[in-house]
Amino acid sequence: MKSTKHDKILLAHGGGGQLSDELIRNHILPTFKNDTLAELADSAKLNLASKSVCFTTDSYVVKPLFFNGGDIGKLAVCGTINDLAVAGSKPVALSLSLIIEEGFEFELLEKILASTSEAAKKNKVSIVAGDTKTVEAGAVDKIFINTAGIGVRLAGVELGFEKIKVGDKIIINGTIGDHGMTIISQREGIKFESQLKSDCAGVAELTCHLLENTSGVKFMRDPTRGGLASTLNEISRGSGLSIEICEADIPVNPTVQAGADMLGFDVLTIANEGKFVAIVSPESADDCLNICRNHPLGRKASIIGEVAETRDVPMVEMITRIGGRRIVQMPYGRELPRIC
Amino acid sequence: MLEKIYKAQKVMDEACGALGRQINIMEVCGTHTVSIFRNGIRSTLPKQLKLLSGPGCPVCVTGQSYIDTVLQLAERDDVLIATYGDMIRVPGRGGSLETRQPGANVKIVLSSEDALQLAKDNPEKTVVFVAVGFETTAPATAVVVKEAVENGIDNFCILSGHKLVVPAMRALVSEKNHNIDGFLCPGHVSVIIGYGSYAEIVQRFSRPCVVAGFEPLQIIEGLSEICRQLAAGKAELKSVYAAVVTEQGNTTAQEIIAECFEAVDGYWRGLGKIEKSTLKLKDKYSRFDALKRFDITKTLSEDTSGCRCGEVLCGLIEPPECSLFAKNCTPEAPIGPCMVSSEGACAAWFRYGQKKAVNNEVNQT
Amino acid sequence: MCLAIPARIVELEGDKAVVDAMGNRWRARTTLLPEAKLGDLVLIHAGFAISLVDEEEAKETWQLLREIDDSDQTQEKLSG
């Protein structure tokens, strides 16, 4: 990493002049080595394999910036990649926009840029366009990131709510709640040491593999904020069908469960950043499961339930460990730790 | 585990069959309310067994005047409010701690120790610790009050909202709700007070009292034991939570409560005034009492009209029987504390999708 | 009204402890449990240990402790 005579970001670094130029040439370009970006054109010119593309955007404001298993940079890449992946596309290119608070340490920025680059490389996407703005102290909380992404849609793949039918199976590629609990464990006021690690990862390689090797995938979504509960409710509402899941089949890391128990949280509502839910035809369920389990990001994949007839209104129900039934509602608002 | 559950269910089925009438068991504790919903326990019980939620939700039974006092103190520039997360959304006059004082001088703490540390770290402010909870939590408050004395931390005080469970159970069964056949007693309060503390309820009122923990098997075994006793015409004191509950309880914790606090008459939302049911700091610690420190006389605030939290807390109605439930009163816009507190019966019913009053059937809207 | 979970004391100095619950480490006080020792399984509520936990009963009572016990025995190697 090139050295700089400044150890903190100044407003001028976003001002379009000499310092901005220095930031781009000495820090951003060398980190994201690619020809498209190096052109420093006003827009990136892309040649895509298909006219049919997916396009998405997301902004990242996570606190703390650095956590066990990742940081805001890695999250910004993986989060957007995952949105493209679950829509049935192969992610190709991302834009990267930074809004940085005056006074933010350069050393931290460099760490974030490095992990952004590493995540992009690992997931075989290029950062082809970007922007940097700096704002006065207090206008943002240290650094906010936005990424937008383009993915090429896989041929012959059509995913949608309308494809979901009663009897379809529901698969998740691994344990739930890891990311959210990790973040919570490192928040001020709650901080506790833990073996917890965010599951932050790009799942596109696995989802593409799934889509290319089976024909039974009907729909996918990544259960980020609001957790599995939120995603299943969205799917239920979107399809107009009910969902029934089995608590005993939902993979949960005991450390995550214990952390949630201590604070009074329901793991079903806690965020994930390296997971996806897939609704698949019953006849393809076993194949899908095996494909997942043969991939590093799917070793603990599990069939957690199925799509069911709606009796009255579409809802998500869970058969609990003891054979009871309860409704899984859409979570509302922010979970707060409690002692009671 | 499943075998034990089937066994307990069989006992319940037989007992309920033998009794031939509806059985009402009050689960006193809010943590039991949540666990019962999360584990779908109602759906596994015999139809004649009705579970009543009780007043064991410290946030729910805290009077309006308490939260209004906290909000009043929160407005002072020289005060930092330290509170458990449970209280942050309780609505008072003009808002809640969350909405009225976003961020600024309200800090969520996970332990009373954190509240004391806040005082050490901010010598120019006075920390007011919002000390709610039952006997499980009161000892933790007592410990830090003593430490404040020992270490001369004068910029610390507490607003005691600590309440006692047995007086509430006594008031319930003797006056408020005569339909309670038995009590599922709170597991962790019992760790402190010992299961022997419920002997009075068993002997004076002939109601079975069974202490259970919060795992689903615990709750089912506890309910099963109550049913068994009722079918046999008995009323006994028992605990199925042998891992942590003893007859005498935690005497160290009891002593420290007795050293710092005295039981005085107190107001419980829904139950009204109950004799010797709330904890007040003893005179020798009175300078750590926020009411004295800030010279506050608490006045009884009016509860919002239409709010039937009181009846919910006594197990007289189920949340959907309140006309405000799920219409004007929702978790996003709560009117009463039973909807705010994660352990409140109304919040639990809403959150777990139970919109109609039921008899152990999972119902949709 | 009382969230409390079993955790093992892994550090203890006076009445200041660090407890481990399935890999989460919390600070806790043993002020209310003077008989607690290093290595004991205790019940933690709001930052305080309030009871010793009987090890055998614990496995019967808490699902999580049973799971850890089971997985130790079968030595599962799957990674998340």
Tokens 């054109």 appear where?
A41
Query: How much is the pLDDT for B359?
Result: 40
Domain boundaries, chain A: 11-153, 161-327
pLDDT (tens digit per residue) in B205-264? 999 999 999 999 999 999 999 999 999 999 999 999 999 999 999 999 999 999 999 999
Chain C contact for A173, CB < 8 A?
A: no
Query: How much is the pLDDT for B242?
Result: 94
The residues near C70 (Cβ < 8 Å, ≥ 6 apart) are none
Cβ atoms of B226 and B25 closer than 8 Å: yes
Give the CA distances from residue B277 to residues A21, B27, B337, in Å, rounded to whole numbers and listed in that order: 70, 19, 20
> DSSP class of residue B246?
-
Question: Is the pLDDT confidence value at A216 over 90?
Answer: yes
Partner chains of B (3+ C-beta pairs under 8 Å): A, C
Query: How much is the pLDDT for A262?
Result: 84
A270 CA: distance to closest CA in chain C (Å): 16
Return d(Cα B180, Cα B196) in angstroms, integer.
20
Chain B contact for A244, CB < 8 A?
A: no
Return d(Cα A64, Cα A59) in angstroms, integer.
15
pLDDT (tens digit per residue) in A101-115? 999 999 999 999 999
Q: What is the DSSP string of B45-77?
A: S-TTEEEEEEEE-HHHHS-HHHHHHHHHHHT-T
Chain C contact for B112, CB < 8 A?
A: yes
CA angle (C60 as vertex; C54, C63 as ends), nearest 5: 110
Chain A contact for B352, CB < 8 A?
A: yes
Cβ atoms of A20 and A144 closer than 8 Å: no
pLDDT (tens digit per residue) in C46-71? 999 999 999 989 988 888 787 766 66
In C, minimum Cα distance to A339 occurs at C3
Report the residue of A182, A194, A203, A272 to disrupt the C interface, i.e. the one with the largest count of C CBs within 10 Å: A194
Which residues of chain A make contact with C24, given a CB cutoff of 8 A? 185, 192-196, 255, 258-259, 262
Return d(Cα B147, Cα B351) in angstroms, integer.
40
Cβ atoms of A86 and A276 closer than 8 Å: yes
Report CB contact under 8 Å: A193, C5. no
Q: What is the DSSP string of A175-193?
A: -SSHHHHHHHHTSTTT--E
The residues near A125 (Cβ < 8 Å, ≥ 6 apart) are A77, A81, A91, A92, A93, A94, A149
Query: How much is the pLDDT for B125?
Result: 95
Return d(Cα B204, Cα B226) in angstroms, integer.
17
Chain B contact for C58, CB < 8 A?
A: yes
Report CB contact under 8 Å: A340, B84. yes
pTM of the model: 0.89
Q: How confident is the model at residue C77 (pLDDT cuts 50, 70, 90)?
A: very low
Domain boundaries, chain B: 1-298, 309-350
Of residues B1, B188, B243, nearest to C2 (C-beta)? B188
Q: Tokens standing for A186? A: 């490192």
Cβ atoms of A189 and B108 closer than 8 Å: yes
Q: Which residues of chain B have pLDDT under 50?
A: 358-365
3-class state of residue A99 by DSSP: strand
> DSSP class of residue A325?
E
Average pLDDT, chain C: 85
Tokens 């067994």 appear where?
B49
Cβ atoms of C27 and B110 closer than 8 Å: no
Chain C contact for A249, CB < 8 A?
A: no
3-class state of residue C80 by DSSP: coil
**Radius of gyration of the CA atoms of chain A, in A:** 21
Q: Is the dihedral of CA B154, B159, B165, B170 positive or negative?
A: positive
A49 CA: distance to closest CA in chain C (Å): 34
Query: How much is the pLDDT for B355?
Result: 64
Question: Is the pLDDT confidence value at A336 over 70?
Answer: no
Report the residue of C2, C8, C24 to disrupt the A interface, i.e. the one with the largest count of A CBs within 10 Å: C24
In A, minimum Cα distance to B115 occurs at A189
3-class state of residue A141 by DSSP: coil
**Radius of gyration of the CA atoms of chain C, in A:** 13
Which residues of chain C make contact with B57, given a CB cutoff of 8 A? 1
Other C-beta atoms closer than 10 Å to the C-beta of A166 total 13
The CATH architecture annotation of domain A161-327 reads Alpha-Beta Complex (3.90)
Nearest residue to B109 (alpha-carbon basis) of A190, C32, A191: A190
Return d(Cα A67, Cα A196) in angstroms, integer.
10
In B, minimum Cα distance to C49 occurs at B140
Return d(Cα B269, Cα B63) in angstroms, integer.
5
Return d(Cα B362, Cα B251) in angstroms, integer.
42
Q: What is the largest CA-CA distance in chain B?
A: 67
A305 CA: distance to closest CA in chain C (Å): 20
Residues in chain B: 365
Per-residue HEC secondary structure of B186-230 comes to EHHHHHHHCHHHHHHHHHHHCCCEEEECCCHHHHHHHHHHHHHHH
Chain A contact for B354, CB < 8 A?
A: yes
Return d(Cα A135, Cα A10) in angstroms, integer.
9
3-class state of residue B26 by DSSP: strand
Domain boundaries, chain C: 5-74
**b/e map A290-300, b = 16+ CB within 10 Å:** ebbeebebbbb
Return d(Cα B55, Cα B28) in angstroms, integer.
6
pLDDT (tens digit per residue) in A173-214? 999 999 999 998 888 667 777 889 999 999 999 999 999 999
Task: State the amino acid at position B228 in one-letter form.
Answer: R
Which residues of chain C make contact with B58, given a CB cutoff of 8 A? 1
A89-101 sheet: strands from edge to edge: A53-60, A143-153, A89-101, A126-135
B130, β-bridge pairs: B83, B159
Cβ atoms of A101 and A143 closer than 8 Å: yes
Report CB contact under 8 Å: A193, C67. no
CATH of domain A11-153: 3.30.1330.10
Which residues of chain C make contact with B110, given a CB cutoff of 8 A? 46-47
Query: How much is the pLDDT for C28?
Result: 94
Nearest residue to C1 (alpha-carbon basis) of B274, B163, A189: B163
Return d(Cα A136, Cα A117) in angstroms, integer.
26
Residues in chain A: 340
H/E stretch holding A79 reads helix A72-86
Task: State the amino acid at position B175 in one-letter form.
Answer: E
In B, minimum Cα distance to A265 occurs at B342
In B, minimum Cα distance to A267 occurs at B38
Task: State the amino acid at position A198 in one-letter form.
Answer: S
Residues in chain C: 80
H/E stretch holding B79 reads strand B79-83
Q: Which fold has domain B1-298?
A: Rossmann fold (3.40.50)
**Radius of gyration of the CA atoms of chain B, in A:** 21
Mean pLDDT computed over C40-44: 96
Chain C contact for A322, CB < 8 A?
A: no
CATH of C5-74, one of 3.40.50.2300, 2.30.40.10, 2.30.30.140, 2.40.37.10: 2.30.30.140
B56, β-bridge pairs: B29
Cβ atoms of A169 and A280 closer than 8 Å: yes
Measured in degrees and rounded to the nearest 5, phi and psi for residue A172 equal -120, 145
Chain C contact for B131, CB < 8 A?
A: no
Measured in degrees and rounded to the nearest 5, phi and psi for residue A194 equal -160, 160
* Torsion angle in degrees (nearest 10) through CA of B109, B110, B114, B115: 50
Cβ atoms of B191 and B165 closer than 8 Å: no
C55 CA: distance to closest CA in chain A (Å): 17
A59, β-bridge pairs: A146
Return d(Cα B101, Cα A161) in angstroms, integer.
42
pLDDT (tens digit per residue) in A259-297? 898 888 899 999 999 999 999 999 999 999 999 999 999
H/E stretch holding A74 reads helix A72-86
Query: How much is the pLDDT for A334?
Result: 65
In C, minimum Cα distance to A176 occurs at C80
Query: How much is the pLDDT for B266?
Result: 92
Question: Is the pLDDT confidence value at C75 over 70?
Answer: no
Of all residues in chain A, the percent with pLDDT exceeding 70 is 95
Query: How much is the pLDDT for A135?
Result: 93
The residues near A80 (Cβ < 8 Å, ≥ 6 apart) are A56, A57, A58, A91, A94, A147, A148, A149
Query: How much is the pLDDT for B252?
Result: 98
Query: How much is the pLDDT for B365?
Result: 33
Angle, helices A178-185 vs A254-263, to 10°: value is 50
Give the CA distances from residue A194 to residues A67, A69, B125, C47, in Å, rounded to whole numbers and listed in that order: 11, 12, 32, 16
Question: Is the pLDDT confidence value at A320 over 90?
Answer: yes
Return d(Cα A226, Cα A270) in angstroms, integer.
6
Give the CA distances from residue A12 to residues A98, A112, A143, in Å, rounded to whole numbers and listed in that order: 14, 20, 16
Task: State the amino acid at position B250 in one-letter form.
Answer: N
Query: How much is the pLDDT for A60?
Result: 95
Return d(Cα A213, Cα C78) in angstroms, integer.
23
Cβ atoms of A2 and A114 closer than 8 Å: no
A18-22, A87-91, A146-150, B224-228: least confident range: A18-22
Return d(Cα B211, Cα B28) in angstroms, integer.
10
Report CB contact under 8 Å: A319, B40. yes
Query: How much is the pLDDT for B362?
Result: 37
Q: Is the dihedral of CA B269, B271, B277, B282 positive or negative?
A: positive
Which residues of chain B make contact with C54, given a CB cutoff of 8 A? 242-244
Q: How many CB pairs under 8 A join B and C?
A: 102
Report CB contact under 8 Å: B364, A315. yes
Report CB contact under 8 Å: B244, C43. yes
Of residues A185, A258, A339, nearest to C64 (C-beta)? A258
Return d(Cα C40, Cα C55) in angstroms, integer.
9
